[in-house]
């Protein structure tokens, strides 16, 4: 904590020095890195920071609301909330191929953010990013990282990347020291395309909603069972085929929900934890009674390799 405080003081001074009285733009997803950078910049330059949160309709239950609550209500940030749900879901309609879905979501995200950047236009000179040290290493050949590059050339910003020399656990300590809530600081990894790659095949609103509700139940029950910090990543998946069931004496033909939970160090290999049977049964019961259109629950036992962590 003392080291984190020293880091914060040092970065606040460096940011004030770099930015002066100019404005800074930041894409605030609600993930650990962008949230910590936002909190750091708010401390340094207050409302000279303009945060843009794009709700693409593929966030987990309550996440966009939390971003607004923490940054707008608690930290009094200059926050632009963009409801782009219909835009994203419209473009994704009928698109089933996973990489095509990823490309559409990524490209549309840049487009929406670019529109917001143009609106605040001339006043803004800096773009802040939650780039962390592993991003810099990884973008060096292994895989293109979304924080490095991606915006069109005619948008001229100087970069402000105050946590680029930190590892993830160090970013969390800084976030904690800045007063961000635990759910944000210890948030599990969540893919940029969000629930879009967990609602398998062509996304439909009914399955997306079932996915979101089942995921919220899973998170609540893992939390109740004390598993939130001990399991690395856990989520639900809804496939694009139906299964037969019986409900109220009548044949049902509804969606299955698949529970995926993994432990890993670096996401390159992963193991499936042995979750207490009673916890899995409770989650199953709740999903089957509370989520409309679902008639079956499965637990995925596949390690990585051979299965990837995500289903798409
Ligand atoms: P896989 O499925 O490749 O996932 O075993 C490894 C880790 O990466 C996350 N992941 C993504 N993150 N954009 C992201 O930002 C993506 O398209 C994406 N695909 C997978 C996944 O959640 C896991 O933590």
* Full DSSP string of the chain: -HHHHHHHHHHHHHHHHHHTT-EEEEE--SSHHHHHHHHHHHHHHGGGEEEEEEE-S-SPTTHHHHHIIIIIIIS--EEEEEE-HHHHHHHHTT---HHHHHHHHHHHHHHHHHHHHHHHGGGEEEEE----HHHHHHTTTT---TTSS-S-TTS--EEE-TTTT--HHHHHHHHHHTT--HHHHTPPP--TTGGGGTB-SS--HHHHHHHHHHHHHHHHHHHHTT-TTTSSEEEEEB-SS-EEEEETTEEEEEEEEEEEEEB-SSSSSBB-----HHHHHHHHHHHHHHSTTEEEEEE----BTTS-SS--
Mean of pLDDT values over 210-228: 98
Atom of ligand 1 nearest to the CA of 267: 6
- Residue 223 lies inside a defined structural domain of this protein: yes
pLDDT at 143 (0 to 100): 46
Are 73 and 165 contained in the same domain? yes
Residue that terminates a domain, selected from 185, 209, 244: 185
Are 31 and 178 contained in the same domain? yes
Domain that residue 66 falls in: 2-185
pLDDT at 124 (0 to 100): 87
pLDDT at 290 (0 to 100): 98
Are 155 and 15 contained in the same domain? yes
Could you report the per-residue pLDDT of 112-135, keeping only the tens digit for each? 999 999 998 777 899 999 999 998
- Residue 123 lies inside a defined structural domain of this protein: yes
Mean of pLDDT values over 236-241: 98
| pLDDT category of residue 201 using cuts at 50, 70 and 90 | very high
Look at ligand 1, atom 9, and give the residue with the nearest C-alpha: 191
Number of other residues whose CB lies within 10 A of the CB of residue 277: 9
Phi, psi dihedrals of residue 234, rounded to the nearest 5° = -150, 140
Cβ 310 under 6 angstroms from ligand 1: yes
Are 50 and 101 contained in the same domain? yes
Number of domains in the chain: 2
- Flag whether pLDDT at 217 surpasses 90: yes
| pLDDT category of residue 150 using cuts at 50, 70 and 90 | low
Mutate which of 103, 104, 191 to test ligand 1's pocket (most atoms within 8 Å of Cβ)?
Answer: 191
Are 168 and 287 contained in the same domain? no
pLDDT at 236 (0 to 100): 98
pLDDT at 305 (0 to 100): 97
- Residue 206 lies inside a defined structural domain of this protein: yes
- Residue 103 lies inside a defined structural domain of this protein: yes
Are 214 and 275 contained in the same domain? yes
Could you report the per-residue pLDDT of 54-96, keeping only the tens digit for each? 999 999 999 999 999 999 999 999 999 999 999 999 999 999 9
Are 137 and 263 contained in the same domain? no
- Which residues are documented as binding site for ATP? 29-35
- Residue 305 lies inside a defined structural domain of this protein: no
- Residue 304 lies inside a defined structural domain of this protein: no
Are 235 and 295 contained in the same domain? yes
Give me ligand 1 centre to Cα 275, in Å. Answer: 22
Are 178 and 214 contained in the same domain? no
Picking from 66, 14, 58, the residue whose alpha carbon sits closest to that of residue 40 is 14
CATH code, domain carrying 127:
3.40.50.620
| pLDDT category of residue 153 using cuts at 50, 70 and 90 | low
Are 87 and 171 contained in the same domain? yes
CATH code, domain carrying 212:
3.30.300.10
With a cut of 0.95, is the ipTM above it?
yes
Atom of ligand 1 nearest to the CA of 307: 5
Are 123 and 235 contained in the same domain? no
Mean of pLDDT values over 223-245: 98
Q: Judge if the upstream peptide bond of residue 63 is cis by omega within 30 degrees of 0.
A: no
Look at ligand 1, atom 20, and give the residue with the nearest C-alpha: 191
Mean of pLDDT values over 162-173: 97
Are 35 and 155 contained in the same domain? yes
Cβ 267 under 6 angstroms from ligand 1: yes
Q: Which residues contact 254 (CB under 8 A, 6 or more apart)?
A: 242, 243, 245, 293, 294, 295, 296
pLDDT at 121 (0 to 100): 75
Taking the C-alpha atoms of residue 261 and residue 301, their distance in angstroms, rounded to an integer, is 9
Residue that terminates a domain, selected from 185, 216, 243: 185
- Residue 193 lies inside a defined structural domain of this protein: no
The answer to whether 232 and 262 are in contact (CB under 8 A) is yes
- Residue 294 lies inside a defined structural domain of this protein: yes
Could you report the per-residue pLDDT of 46-65, keeping only the tens digit for each? 999 999 999 999 999 999 99
Could you report the per-residue pLDDT of 12-41, keeping only the tens digit for each? 999 999 999 999 999 999 999 999 999 999
Beta-ladder partners of 237: 258
Residue that terminates a domain, selected from 152, 185, 218: 185
| pLDDT category of residue 144 using cuts at 50, 70 and 90 | very low
Cβ 192 under 6 angstroms from ligand 1: yes
């Amino acid at each position: 904590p003392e080291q984190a405080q020293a880091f914060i003081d040092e970065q606040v001074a460096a940011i004030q020095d770099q930015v002066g009285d100019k404005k800074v733009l930041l894409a605030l997803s609600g993930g650990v890195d962008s949230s910590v950078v936002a909190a750091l910049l708010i401390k340094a330059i207050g409302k000279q920071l303009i945060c843009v949160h794009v709700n693409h309709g593929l966030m987990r239950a309550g996440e966009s609301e939390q971003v607004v609550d923490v940054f707008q209500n608690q930290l009094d940030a200059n926050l632009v909330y963009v409801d782009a749900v219909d835009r994203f879901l419209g473009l994704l309609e009928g698109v089933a191929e996973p990489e095509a879905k990823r490309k559409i979501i990524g490209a549309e995200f840049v487009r929406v953010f670019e529109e917001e950047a143009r609106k605040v236009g001339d006043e803004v000179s800096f773009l802040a990013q939650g780039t962390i040290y592993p991003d810099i290493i990884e973008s060096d050949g292994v895989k293109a990282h979304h924080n490095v590059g991606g915006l069109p050339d005619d948008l001229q910003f100087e970069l402000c990347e105050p946590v680029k020399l930190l590892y993830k656990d160090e970013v969390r300590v800084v976030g904690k020291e800045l007063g961000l809530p635990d759910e944000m600081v210890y948030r599990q990894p969540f893919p940029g395309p969000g629930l879009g790659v967990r609602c398998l095949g062509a996304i439909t609103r009914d399955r997306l909603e079932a996915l979101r509700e089942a995921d919220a139940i899973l998170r609540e029950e893992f939390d109740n069972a004390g598993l939130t910090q001990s399991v690395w990543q856990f989520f639900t998946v809804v496939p694009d085929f139906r299964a037969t069931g019986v409900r109220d004496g009548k044949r049902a033909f509804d969606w299955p929900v698949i529970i995926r939970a993994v432990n890993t160090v670096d996401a390159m290999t992963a193991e499936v934890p042995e979750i207490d049977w009673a916890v899995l049964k409770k989650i199953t019961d709740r999903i089957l009674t509370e989520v409309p259109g679902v008639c079956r629950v499965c637990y995925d036992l596949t390690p990585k390799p051979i299965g990837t962590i995500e289903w798409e």
